[in-house]
Amino acid sequence: MTHSQQVTTLLESMSVEEKIAQLYSVWLGYTDGGVVAPEMDTQADAAPEFPDFAAHGLGQLTRVFGTKPVLAAKGLATLLGYQKWLRDNTRLKIAALAHEECLTGLAAWTATTFPTPLAWAATFDPAATYAMGQAIGQTMARLGVHQGLAPVLDVVRDARWGRVEETMGEDPYVIATLGTGYIQGLQSEGIIATPKHFVGYSNSRAGRNLAPVHAGQREIEDVFLPPFEMALLDGKAGSIMPAYVDIDSVPVHGDHRLLTEVLRDRWGFTGTVVSDYFGVAFLMKEHGVAVDVGEAAAMALTAGLDVELPSGDAFRSPQFAQLCATDPEVAAALDLAVGRVLDQKETLGLLDIDAEIARLEALLAKAPDSLDPPEHRAVAARLADESVILLANDGSLPLADRAGLRIGVIGPNADRAAALFGCYSFVNHVLMHNPGVESKIATPTILEALRAEYPLADVRHASGCDVRELDRSGFDEALALARDCDIVIAVMGDQAALFGKGTSGEGCDVDSLDLPGLQPELLDALLGVGTPLVLVPVTGRPYAIGRFSDQAVATVQAFFPGEEGASAVAGVISGRINPSGHLPVSVPRSLGVLPYSYLHPKLGDPGGVSSIDTTPQFSFGHGLSYTDFEYSQFTTPTQAPTDGWITLGVKVTNTGSRPGATVLQVYGHDQAASVVRPMRQLLAYLRVTLDAGASQQISLDIPAARFGFHDRSMTRVVEPGAVQVWLGHDCDHPATDIHEVQLTGGITVVTKASPRLANLNL
């Protein structure tokens, strides 16, 4: 590894203790709040003192802004104080790198809260995720933060998993392209992005958080790794975070094959690998592959991990220091990791601590009272507007405003702002543990948004029940209201939280895909009244809502749409917004089909071999509009080289009476491959916006490498032979004829130099 002269000189001068100090963080103040990381209340360093941690220097500072409700000025002053201490009390005077969570916006008090990633995915709009990443990066830069722990690039396989809300659905290509947009936006503002969780986390047994993962190597290579490959090779992400899990009994935090052979040797990654919180100690405490935390630290370091977050439970141990001083392999790995950390700090300007202190002083002098400026709210609104999905509609929507119209808004999520946010929002991640503290971001509820949307109508409300508590005392009021209204808007769904305190989010896994609590019973009763009902699930996962959706006049799905989400939902119902969201994850008919992915082979399709029908209620890619789109003049080549491109042409026409947007979805199938392939695979997508009556001629260049897979020798190849290509309304319903394209030439080995992005214009 080649370093600058400054880094080389530093490395040569550092003691073992000073080197180790650059590889861990300190998290101060977290013991005063609630549990926001796995088993954080059981960790050894429950009450760390900064001078003890930082005596030889310090690698990182954990969540100065994201642990408690602190305003920008106070957080900046705290950060400035730590950097001054490092300048005045350490020999090397290297500034610490500050990291924060930023999945749905910077997780800090008063910061803009964007939709959750499952909602980003429903937009199929990488330009929107770029704009959001850029906005988040601007906020972080204003606070002196250097690194953000996002985005999540896990591929959904089981809707029971609580962290589905944090993902971008079940298609690796959608996740890769949208995630790359976010990363490029964030890093355009000088913030290091940290995609996670590398890799396979979402394939845990029974959809349980931190459960073991059993996946074949081909599934890892062809499904779970591609989003990370694109994030690093195309997005140029500066850091990456391993998953907590073990895959086929090997914990990822100690897996040399993944952390070195794949990341470093195959992909050429030169950034830092940072542990998930307490993940190094888990090698001993949870996985049982180390006798103590010192051995766990050495295992992680020699596997390829660089930095322990959020604290120094393992890397600060005396056993680890002894191994670094006496074991040549551990000592060599230490130098490699410290070199990468110092390279990154040099790029960030942290080796010049006086300059960093001056920067923080300048930021403090103009610290804002709020971190939710109008231009960021506009980005949040754009994402929310594009993310709401019209799943079903018998023509009752859009619902026009008129005098005398009686609208009953019923359900536990109708009048709760917290219902609009995911588990990594500051509201549900931190403020939940600080009762009485206001969020300080304007967040209309769906009830409030509907009242604003329908000024002429009589909009009434009853909650009916809680999200998950088994209390029927509100049923009578809700049913009486339903009987006295012209239409009911039933706002149901989840409450995001952590570790069992909610119905969606990290550690909030489920063993049923029924809506939580008494909501199914309330819906049955409301539908029994006979008043037309619009179902609005505001959720973090897809639920098996088929029997309710079949009886409702319309179903409008929102995946935690953020601070501007209520206006988006109300706008779709009224027709002010023409819905354009499409499902990034299938909506199953029942729990019994899980785990499920639309990317399944022929044996996964329903048929006579099983009595279980796997057909989803709503398929991946599904989404309705208030206008109609026609695809015509669909053209494909009859053949294309295995190392070349497939050029598609199509004319898209808005044949309806109003402007709208649709997502052009290109699917493909390899008819006879050397290993089993999915029956349908998204090859490319493009969001198209057209005025009423307008047409657009579109040409898509798709790399043949999109048909690549790992063959029987575990080489990623594109094989010659016949493939099918078509456009779909969703993955299960073709919108055009299926065209056959002959891939010609020899077998092409797909390398990191092969094109991965198609038609991604950010």
SS3 493: strand
- CATH 3.40.50.1700 region(s) of the chain? 388-604
Look at residue 352 in the predicted model and tell me its pLDDT: 98
Residues of the chain with CATH 3.20.20.300: 5-365
572: helix, strand or coil: helix
**Which 8-state DSSP code applies to residue 222?**
I
Confidence of residue 52 (pLDDT cuts 50, 70, 90): confident
629-749: CATH topology: Immunoglobulin-like (2.60.40)
Give the pLDDT band of residue 762 (cuts 50, 70, 90). Answer: very low
- Token pair for 736: 């055009």
Q: Is residue 373 helix, strand or coil?
A: coil
Tokens of 750: 């797909």
pLDDT in tens, 197-228: 999 999 998 899 989 998 999 999 999 999 99
Give burial (CB, 10 Å; 0-12/13-18/19+) of 415: middle
442-500 tens-digit pLDDT? 999 999 999 999 999 999 999 999 999 999 999 999 999 999 999 999 999 999 999 99
pLDDT at 757 over 50: no
Which two structure tokens, joined as six digits, stand for 516?
A: 């939580």
Strands 97-101, 60-62: pairing is: parallel
pLDDT at 420 > cutoff 60: yes
| Strands 709-710 and 239-240, sheet pairing | unpaired
pLDDT per residue as tens digits for the range 62-120: 999 999 999 999 999 999 999 999 999 999 999 999 999 999 999 999 999 999 999 99
> Could you tell me which CATH class the domain 388-604 is placed in?
alpha beta
* Collapsed DSSP state (helix, strand, coil) of residue 150: coil
Q: What is the C-alpha separation between 71 and 563, in angstroms, rounded? A: 19
Instruction: Name the segment(s) of the chain with CATH classification 2.60.40.10.
Output: 629-749
Give CA–CA dist 681/686, Å, rounded: 15
Which residues have CB under 8 Å from 77's CB, separation 6+?
A: 364
Number of residues that make up the chain? 762
pTM for the whole structure:
0.96
Taking CA atoms, 231 is separated from 136, 177, 225, 686, 712, in Å, by 18, 8, 10, 19, 26
| Residue range 300-345, pLDDT digits in tens | 999 999 999 999 999 999 999 999 999 999 999 999 999 999 999 9
pLDDT category of residue 654 using cuts at 50, 70 and 90? very high
pLDDT (tens digit per residue) in 270-279: 999 999 999 9
pLDDT band, very low/low/confident/very high, at 47 (cuts 50, 70, 90): low
Question: 5-365 in CATH: which number?
Answer: 3.20.20.300
Query: Tens digit of pLDDT for each residue in 244-295?
Result: 999 999 999 999 999 999 999 999 999 999 999 999 999 999 999 999 999 9
Of the chain, the end-to-end C-alpha distance in Å amounts to 32
